[in-house]
Amino acid sequence: MTKTERPIANTSDLRISFEFFPPKSPEMDEQLWQTVEALQAYQPDFVSVTYGAGGTTREPTLATVKRLITETPLSTASHLTCVGATREEVRAVVEEFQAAGVRHFVALRGDPQGGVGTRYAPHPGGYVNAADLVSGLRDMGDFEISVSAYPERHPESENDVVDLDMLKQKVDAGATRALTQFFFDNDIFERYLERVRAAGITIPIVPGIMPIQNLTQLKRFAAMCGASIPAFVDARFEGSEGDPRARAAIAAEIAAEQIADLSRSGLQDFHIYTMNRAPLTIATLERLGVSTQTGNVSGAAA
């Protein structure tokens, strides 16, 4: 944001969290920690680290979480899945992460072992679903427990009623916050939130915001997880082909405008999927007027 620009909204109570994933190579490791260093200046409410279904990233996730806890001031949550694991194996993971200082888990069932689109089958000796996992975590300790929510419905849910019932089961089991799948149409989210509240679910429903790093890749990912890309997104990028700087600016504007619009509806908490890259997240926060000095938004509404 230039010196003459003003924030697009007065969101002085904004609370931001960031999601990272464990690196898979030395180059990705360097990129992650450069990103962490750049983003911690915005004083996020917390950060989370993803965990592969069946424990496929257990060691890299644990190493990343340990480093975040010991080398940064960031409140750090670890994702946890139950696919392909017994209850005893999950407990061992929880105890290991707890010993590392984790007090906040993002409890997820995880993708089917056969991959997205294949049929899910619980492990014979494991947790049946995310609600069952939340209940198990609640029995293991006094953890903060976040779960997932789907404004456009989980791809395996038969309908909205079934999907909402699963969220309610997770809340009844002890979840304290829900982080949503990314979306771009705020009307969809607001209708979803109305249904959630009407069902008696009162925990914070935190919008998941995905700044668009690569529109083509995002469309492929969205198709797999049941998220829609509205026509206005394509329209905003039209004519910017071959101009990475222009596309980055458009992506930051879309994400910032989405957050600003939702904040005007009274929402304060937002979870940003960083993809382990700082520039676009920073551009989004700067467009909102978020200061690295205080972590709050400065300036008046435009």
pLDDT in tens, the chain (302 residues): 443 345 555 556 899 999 999 999 999 999 999 999 999 999 999 999 999 866 678 899 999 999 999 999 999 999 999 988 999 999 999 999 999 999 999 999 987 665 555 567 677 889 999 999 999 999 999 999 999 999 999 988 999 999 999 999 999 999 999 999 999 999 999 999 999 999 999 999 999 999 999 999 999 999 988 899 999 999 999 999 999 999 999 999 999 999 999 999 999 999 999 999 999 999 999 999 998 864 444 332 22
Q: What is the sign, positive or negative, of the torsion defined by CA atoms of 171, 173, 175, 176?
A: positive
- Asked if 123 contacts 85 with a C-beta cutoff of 8 angstroms, the reply is yes
241 part of the active site = no
Where do the structural domains in the chain lie, given as residue ranges? 15-288
**Amino acid identity at 14:** L
Angle (CA) 18-51-252 rounded to 5° is: 30
State the catalytic residue, choosing from 19, 59, 71, 152. Answer: 19
- The predicted model scores a pTM of 0.91
Topology of domain 15-288, per CATH? TIM Barrel (3.20.20)
Q: What is the number of helices (H) and of strands (E) in the chain?
A: 10, 8
Between CA 18 and CA 22 the distance in angstroms is 13
